[in-house]
Amino acid sequence: MREIKNKRAIVTGGTRGIGRAIVKELAARSCCGVLFSDVAFVYNSCDECAEEIMSEIPDPTKIFAFKADASSFEEAQATVNAAIEKLGGVDILVNNAGITRDNLLLRMTEKEFDDVINANLKSVFNYTKAVLRPMINQRYGRIINIASVVGLIGNPGQANYVASKAGVIGFTKSVAREVASRGITVNAIAPGFIETDMTKKLNEEQRKKLLQNVPMQRMGVPEDVAKVVAFLCSGDADYITGQVIAVDGGLTM
C-alpha cells in the first residue's frame, strides 16, 4: 500500500465497535510515522469509552476526543471547526456513527424512524457538508461512509435502518459525482455482520440463521472494516470513487 504522510482524520462514532477499530488503525499507523498524523473522533455518550481509547493509543498527543451528537447540524459544524483547529486541517472524514431501533413496520414508532434516520443519514449530511469547503479549497479529501449490506438487500424489522443505509449509499454516489473533479473521493463500505455491541443483541438462534447466508460462515471483526478504510485513504485507492465495498464474508455476492 502506498502510504500518505501527515493526514488529518475525523471519525464519527469512534468510541466503540467499528469506529474504535478505525480510530486505532489510523492512529497506529500515525504512531509508526507512515500514514495519518492526527485523528479526531466524535462520540455521543460513553465518556469512559473515550477515555479508554485515548489510553490505548500509543501517542495520545495525536488524538482528540469530541463529545457531540452527530445528528445535530449545529453541533457537527462546531465540532468540525474545533477539530480542524486542533488538527490544523482535515483530509479524511469517516462517517461511522450509527444506531439501530429495530421493529416491524406495523409497530415502528415515528420516533424510532426519526432517531435512526437522524443518527445514521442526517449525520452523514452534517459532517460531509462541514468538511467539504476546506477539502475543496485544498483540492484533496477522502470521505468514507459506513453503510451496511442491508442497505443493498433489505432486512425485515429494520425498515428505518435500511432506509438510512440505502440513503447513505445514494448520498455517497451523488456527492462523489459533485466533487470528483476537486480531488475528493467519496466511497461507502457496506459491512455484513460484524462482532460489536450492535450485534451483541442477536440471540444464538438468530446468529445461526444469519451465518447460514454467509459463505465464510463467521461474523467479521471491526478490524476487517478498519483495514478497508485505511486502504481507501491510501494512495492505492486514488482512482476509486462512488463505490460501495462490501465487507461481508461473501454474504451479498
Give the binding site for ligand NAP (CB under 6 A). 12-19, 42-46, 49, 69-71, 96-99, 119-120, 146, 148, 191, 193-194, 196-199
Cα separation, 174 vs 178, in Å, equals 6
> Taking the alpha carbons of 113, 119, 120, 121 in that order, is the dihedral positive or negative?
positive
- The nearer residue to ligand NAP, 101 or 182, going by C-beta atoms, is 101
Cα separation, 42 vs 218, in Å, equals 30
For residues 211 and 219, is the Cβ–Cβ distance under 8 A?
yes
Q: Please state the closest distance from residue 99 (CB atom) to ligand NAP, in A.
A: 5
Cα separation, 238 vs 253, in Å, equals 25
Bridge partner list, 13: none
- The nearer residue to ligand NAP, 4 or 150, going by C-beta atoms, is 150
Q: Which residues contact 36 (CB under 8 A, 6 or more apart)?
A: 4, 6, 7, 8, 9, 26, 27, 29, 30, 92, 233
The catalytic residue positions are 161
- The nearer residue to ligand NAP, 119 or 184, going by C-beta atoms, is 119
Q: Please state the closest distance from residue 133 (CB atom) to ligand NAP, in A.
A: 22
- The nearer residue to ligand NAP, 4 or 96, going by C-beta atoms, is 96
Q: Is 213 exposed, middle or buried (0-12, 13-18, 19+ CB in 10 A)?
A: middle
Cα separation, 14 vs 21, in Å, equals 8
Q: Please state the closest distance from residue 246 (CB atom) to ligand NAP, in A.
A: 10
- The nearer residue to ligand NAP, 4 or 24, going by C-beta atoms, is 24
Q: Would you give the distance in Å from CA 158 to the centre of its chain?
A: 19
Q: What angle do CA 168, 66, 85 make, to 5 degrees?
A: 95
